[in-house]
Amino acid sequence: MGSSTTAGAPNRSTRTVRRSRLSDLVDSERSLGYLLVAPVVLLLLVLVAYPFFVAIGYALSDRTLADPGVFVGLENFVLLWESSIYRQTVRNTFIFTAGSVAIRLVLGVGLALLLNESFRFRRAVRAAILLPWIVPTVLGTMAWLWMFNPNFSVLNYILVQSGLMEHGFNWLTDPDLALFSVLLVNAWRGVPFMAITVLAGLQAIPHDLYDASAIDGAGKFQRFRYVTLPLVMPVLLTALVLSIIWTFSDFGIVYGLTKGGPMNATHVLATLSYQTGLASGNIGEGAAISLTMLPVLLVLIIWQLRRIRRSTVA
Amino acid sequence: MTQDRSQAHVSRRKLLAGAAAAPALSLATPSIAQGTLKGTKLTILAGQWYVPQTNTMLDQLAADLARDSGMEIRVERFAGDELMTKTASVIGTGRGADLAVGVEFDTYVYAAKLNDVTDLADEVGKNYGGWMDAAKAASMVGGRWKSLPIGQAPAAWNWRTDMFRAAGVDKFPDTFAGLLDAAKKLHAKGTPIGMTLGHASGDGRSTNYPVLWAFGGKEFEADGRTVAINSPGTLAAVEWYKEIYQYFIPGTTAWLDPDNNQAFLASKVSATVNVNTIYLASRAAAATDAARKNIVDNMDHANWPSGPAGRFANYNINVWLPFASSPNKAGQREFLKAWYSRTFLPKWTKVGQSYFIPQLAGFDSEDVWPEDPKLKIFRDLNKINRLPGYGGPPTPVAAEAVNKYILVDMFAKACTGQLTPRDAVAWAEKEYQQIARRRSRT
């Protein structure tokens, strides 16, 4: 069957073919998927991937703020290890991350279990729990700075006035306690995220499983161990990995409270990178310090992606 | 004390008329290229100086110059470290501003990206009796002026005369041995002193570098690269510091910039090193706040004690950074001429109440000093500034050492017993050498 056309008028069959191709594209799940993620991929490429590769280039050069520098290979990374400040910073970062994440895990899971129970004003409590997470970092840090102040600490005031202590703690003065203090503030900030994420996982567990285990004679601890924990583990691990990544690269809390002091006892890789790269203009070395975090974070991300893939395939 | 805001409102037309009798130097009545700057733009990056009137005068100068020249002038203000980050961004991208307020290190770090303003600097120096050594050190690279010094904010010993008297000390000690002795007595009376040993970007350096130099220590040799920190002078400074530290108020190793102000204003310390902001803040509130009036009535400022190698101080020097990437170099120069003109700079300096003082030798005999007798010492303090990096210039190597608080931590490690004085000096030497070696390529 032929089609008739009128000169100058749109070809009906062409329009029909075009519309059909477009609707094929939209109807095809695969093509539609690519189409929908394209804007996000573009943003990631421009705002994440590009700066990342530029940073690698900087780390392999002796670039400063005013001088593009030359390629020096891995020299920045090798020379960094000669600095005791850098070695101390790497140690601090691991302790800071491990300590903060451990506190978040214990308190976050505990909080989630509590919030999963029924009690009065549960909704309001759940909302209030989020406050440390949603308050701007700088604001929260300023409040803690006052609470830890060497001369005006309200915490020490309470301890001394109540007769529990004679002098109070050197929260930010003693090097070890200072690291604990910044770690504590970081944990305080991150517990709500852990709690709410784990809570979501808990809420997805079917109640029948608890009923069945109760019928089988399982106690509370056994129900937690054999029912709750295995089923909430995927969500928990996801929250854990994200917490590790965010804590490892934390900057604001440490910079706001101590600027890496006293005597570099609280310096983490992000603050040292800022101090070296931006404050001192040594861009190459600053980038190298930042990229120290990469191997650790890469291992975590790959492990997480493989775990997600395995669970998707299963 | 409140300032009459009309004093701060500087109209260039009025001032130009009043300056008709002044010598016919180009900076007395700066020429404005009428018409040639019309339609051009000038963007200036600045922070917030502590004395509000100094900011107001900058804004007014920009407005007057814009009106007279036809330029569109915008002053963008940033808080704290944001200004440094924004400046770095302009340097890195080559766009975004024509001028910025920086510090002495910026001249060296950005030298290749700044305009040569030697002719302007020579003219300013001729007009005001010559530049001081610290000014030249802050702005000259390779014999050329790459920035123009705005001024330095001298830090003095802020001390409580009533507390010192109660401890049996009638005047502020003029030697380091005297200061140690006074610290013991004040500590026994429950009114200790405090010196900042934390990572405070301002007070950290202004408190600790003078101690090093007074005992004959220095960071570098004249070439600015050979590390010279490990010396008998440095060791003597560290040992003095360790001795006096036991008489400090607890917590000084955690002090950031606001902490010594807060401790002094709360009468928890009897002396600390700071610019005149403690006094100015108290004076401003004294009329309505009895506690602040008490501070004003019972505090004073004193010079640094003199050590075996002399009397020194260390202050941050603000400079004007003229970006080489600026598309409006003529506008840049007109603004700088206006800033350093006789009709502006002396008035701006006086309004600052010795908060920011240009390092111009002739200012010693100009009417730029405050009437308040408790601020008179700043005239002397203006003359003894040295910059970090001494015995060399304030190079990027010195800048990195300052930004990493190497010197501050050296003192802190010895004071807290983390290291012995000798080991603390050795630690600092190693860190300085690391930085010098890493930076030797640039």
For A256-267, the pLDDT digits (tens) are: 999 999 999 999
Going from the N-terminus, what domains does chain A have, and what CATH number goes with each?
Answer: 21-59 (no CATH), 76-313 (1.10.3720.10)
Of A72, A151, A261, the CB nearest to B262: A151
Q: What is the number of other CB atoms lying within 10 angstroms of the CB of residue B248? A: 21
Distance from CA of A218 to the nearest CA of B (A): 53
Of B251, B412, B430, the CB nearest to A263: B412
Q: Has residue B84 got a pLDDT over 90? A: no
Q: Tell me the residues of A at the B interface, defined by beta carbons under 8 Å apart.
A: 62, 64-67, 69-70, 72, 76, 79, 82-85, 149-152, 167, 170-173, 175, 178, 258-264, 275-276, 278-282, 285
CB contact under 8 A, B431 and A83: yes
Mean pLDDT of B113-136: 95
| Contact by Cβ (8 Å): A80, B105 | no
CB contact under 8 A, B396 and A150: no
Burial class (CB in 10 A: 0-12, 13-18, 19+), A10: exposed
Pinpoint the alpha helices (H) of B215-344: 232-245, 257-265, 277-285, 290-298, 329-339
Mean pLDDT of chain B: 90
pLDDT in tens, A256-297: 999 999 999 999 999 999 999 988 889 999 999 999 888 888
Instruction: Sketch the domain layout of chain B as residue ranges.
Output: 5-146+316-376, 156-314+386-441
Of residues B215 and A234, which shows the higher confidence score? Answer: B215
- Give contacts of B201 with chain A, Cβ < 8 Å: 259
Question: What is the pLDDT at residue B441?
Answer: 58
Best probe of the A interface among B403, B410, B416, by most A CBs < 10 A, is B403
Q: What is the DSSP letter of B441?
A: G
| Contact by Cβ (8 Å): A236, A198 | yes
Burial class (CB in 10 A: 0-12, 13-18, 19+), A199: buried
| CATH code for the part of the protein at B156-314+386-441 | 3.40.190.10
Question: What is the pLDDT at residue A114?
Answer: 92
CB contact under 8 A, A281 and B253: no
CB contact under 8 A, A151 and B110: no
pLDDT in tens, B329-380: 999 999 999 999 999 999 999 999 999 899 999 998 889 999 999 999 999 8
One-letter amino acid for residue B228 of the chain: A
Cα gap B90→B100, rounded to integer Å: 10
Pull the structure tokens for residue B291.
């506690």
Decide: helix, strand or coil at residue B110: coil
- Evaluate whether B5-146+316-376 and B156-314+386-441 have a shared fold: yes
Q: Has residue A24 got a pLDDT over 90? A: no
Q: Has residue B36 got a pLDDT over 80? A: no
Question: What is the pLDDT at residue A15?
Answer: 63
Decide: helix, strand or coil at residue B389: coil
CB contact under 8 A, A152 and B266: yes
Q: What percentage of chain B exceeds 70 in pLDDT? A: 92
Question: What is the pLDDT at residue A44?
Answer: 94
Pinpoint the alpha helices (H) of B110-196: 118-127, 133-139, 161-166, 176-188
Nearest CA-CA partner of A111 in A224, A56, A211, A192: A192
Give the A:B interface size as CB pairs under 8 Å.
124
Question: What is the pLDDT at residue A16?
Answer: 62
CB contact under 8 A, B253 and A263: yes
Please provide the DSSP assignment of A80-142 as one string.
Answer: HTT-HHHHHHHHHHHHHHHHHHHHHHHHHHHHHHHHTS--TTHHHHHHHHTHHHHS-HHHHHH
| Contact by Cβ (8 Å): B137, B317 | no
One-letter amino acid for residue A138 of the chain: V
CB contact under 8 A, B404 and A85: yes
Q: Which residue in B has a C-alpha nearest to residue A179's C-alpha?
A: B254
Class (C level, CATH) for B5-146+316-376: alpha beta
pLDDT in tens, B399-436: 999 999 999 999 999 999 999 999 999 999 999 999 99
